[in-house]
Structure 1
């Protein structure tokens, strides 16, 4: 299908921003280089997502405010409805988190890690561009313009472990380099967006991690999410591709945002942001009645899945709310041809409820 006008314009903006990011990366001028790279990488990702949404005739404007949708909302829509893979979404989220930290405060990203994220972004951008917008990067950006490094990319696990040890060294008494150490901690926290949506970076978290590093805690204890990230690298020179992958890590313990617990835990800063959909809205988004949506939730054990459902308590009231994981899981079942009549017979109103919260 030919590209519609808005999709074509947004695609052009996406590629232009990516081209500027590449020029900034390869620049000899270090002043503001990292921030410029991250700002333009993030903008290119957002424009690409909106180009795909426009091409698919999805609404990219908020009905209440009339403003165009933000990055996170566009990312979710593309994941749920337009074949953006979890790996690609993770790369886009990580770049957005790094950009946010650089734009609103300051960070320190090592050259190796900047190169790896930039290359992963180019890989994900090109793949999604080809699938939905009828072109590839080679048609617009010569390979010689893509990010070039004199150092071969290392394994992500090795690089972040090395970064962690460097931070510990910077925090050694007498070094007087605490500001740089905290800026590097902020970068590592932003990188958690590769495997987790809704990453937020607070000074409380940075204080917690700084103390843990000073106390000699191991990397896997302090950054359990990053301990589940790996990379796959193929090719060489300008044609190299980088994919982030998930591997099994240590169990992750979640704590409240104001919990003074130790470092071997991940803070859930805002549960309302993650579990933002009530049962009635979930049913509406899936095109189901509330009773049939409830039956499908029981079939898939959505309410028992901590990544899908959280029960908010307001006095004597208990209100289950759902994350995008719940919607994605249920939509996948529907699109996969699950027999809703059979689901209704097994789990509709009046049938035996499974353990846990099941009320709509």
Structure 2
């Protein structure tokens, strides 16, 4: 990755590259390909991959595998290879972040009012949004989840509600990009609401991706265009998926230490990684870790851009720093 010019949710820059966008997984899914003839086939594969991940991992669909697991407390449940992979990724994320990214936070999210598709939560209907007060709930902890990867079996104890929102979308981006590239043979970029994965040979100069701190202010604030050639890029934010719960504004990134929305020390954290999953795990954990995120990301050597609510910006690893005179990346 390298940067071309200067600021938080991420999306491909507009241009002549063949691309298509549509709604999926509660966000906008975009596909860019390096050869026009591959776009139609690529979109079909992307839609198929996203439909599969939604059926496996959605906390809101009554017919999803994850709902079946959450409704079988204490009992082993046989699951698909896809949900096994998604659960394994979520548990590996928890282990890698010392529990800062924990899939057993579903109960806490429900207490915060995030108990159905976000569009309904944000509307403040009778069950959530504007009603109730925020209560803290202890996070059961990822070590309580028993996953047999060989037999595709999972058991969660009573009181544990799994939520894979922190990792499943990034996994879908990685899977889809790899699958589409294998099928069409050209360079591919998949963007799922700021979770970006690339596969195959990138265009000359790389895939140019805009990084925006405040989507509402796009065009009025500096933006950074980064060139992505391999791996993935992910942005986590305390300024999106925000809703009212009683007198408080809350958001979807839960601190397992408190069972409440993480303190908004950072407005956005954007991280580049070997995969979209790796980038997403790091960006989410950085939000939870607050001021401790900088040293942690530096120790990992991960390129990141961390932006405070007042716009103060910190960079880690080889993330390109903007030129002080021009505001452009180098």
| Common topology (TM > 0.5) | no
Task: Give 1 or 2 for the bigger CA radius of gyration.
Answer: 1
Q: Which has the higher helix share?
A: 1
The normalised TM-score by structure 2 is: 0.25
Q: Which has the higher strand share?
A: 2
Where relative contact order (Cα < 8 A, 6+ residues apart) is larger, the structure is 2
